[in-house]
């Protein structure tokens, strides 16, 4: 039976989502719990990977179990096994051909920036930039990133693939008590893409670059043109919408 799981996690406590040779990972922790429940190895397939230090409010993944259990029973069992830094919000049965990665319609990420006084308590959860940014200029620059583009300039330099085309549907800004949150909704994101776009927007907001340089950067298809890569700790996967 196939299940879809919605869950959150504190990325600062793991070496990323994807299973690796060394270090504790979110996927590894959940697979270990599912294997105990199933009495046989269970593979977890998430909507996509998140790097070390990246958090999630609503990540999704599918898995198959041989044992017959309701979604709520699986949810309860998982939360008793995965520890304090992962929380399973919902588990429900889905069709056997459902795929958590390939059936994604769009994703939303948010990046959090502290423009005020340095806060060591929030270090793992908000980028401590600690300087005021010109949000009006950043909003202008973000308009050039909307729509369908080749985002190779904003991808990880060694992330080789056939296509770098992605569509950004919305970029929004919210500021409260000197914490700036920038939200991105798109049909998909390349590795480091959000963090590199935020890095460019920060350079615009600090008057180091002009908003219209986004056009030149996109056309260059060269990572070296896009500017800084901001730390992972300010990034959150907010939600995922699946195709109907």
Quick one: the chain helix, strand, coil %, rounded to 5? 25, 30, 40
Rg of the chain over Cα atoms, rounded to whole angstroms, equals 19
Which residues are annotated as catalytic? 51
Per-residue H/E/C for 39-103? CCCCCCEECCCCCCCCEEEEEEEEEECCCCCCHHHHHHHHHCCCCCCEEEEEEEEECCCCCCCCC
Nearest-angstrom CA–CA distance, 238 and 30:
20
Q: Which secondary-structure segment (H or E) carries 216? A: helix 213-220
The length of the chain, given as a count of residues = 244
* Residue 236 structure tokens: 């959150």
- Alpha-carbon gap, residue 171 to 108, rounded angstroms: 9
Neighbours of 141 (CB within 10 A): 22
CA distance 220 to 68: 53
């Amino acid at each position: 039976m196939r299940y879809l799981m919605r869950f959150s996690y504190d990325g600062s406590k793991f070496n990323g989502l994807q299973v690796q040779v060394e270090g504790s990972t979110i996927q590894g922790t959940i697979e270990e719990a599912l294997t105990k429940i199933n009495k046989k190895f269970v593979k977890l397939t998430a909507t996509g990977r998140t790097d070390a230090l990246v958090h999630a409010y609503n990540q999704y993944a599918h898995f198959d179990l041989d044992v017959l259990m309701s979604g709520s029973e699986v949810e309860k069992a998982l939360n008793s096994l995965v520890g304090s830094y992962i929380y399973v919000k919902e588990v429900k049965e889905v069709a056997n051909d459902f795929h958590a990665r390939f059936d994604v319609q769009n994703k939303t990420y948010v990046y959090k920036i502290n423009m005020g006084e340095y806060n060591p308590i929030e270090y793992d959860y908000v980028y401590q930039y600690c300087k005021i940014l010109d949000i009006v200029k950043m909003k202008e620059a973000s308009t050039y990133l909307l729509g369908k583009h080749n985002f190779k300039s904003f991808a990880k330099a060694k992330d080789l693939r056939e296509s770098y085309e992605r569509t950004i549907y919305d970029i929004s800004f919210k500021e409260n008590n000197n914490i700036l949150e920038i939200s991105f909704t798109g049909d998909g994101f390349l590795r480091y893409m959000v963090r590199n776009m935020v890095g460019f927007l920060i350079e615009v907001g600090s008057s180091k670059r002009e908003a219209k340089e986004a056009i030149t950067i996109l056309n260059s298809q060269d990572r070296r043109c896009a500017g800084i890569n901001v730390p992972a700790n300010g990034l959150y996967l907010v939600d995922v919408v699946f195709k109907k």
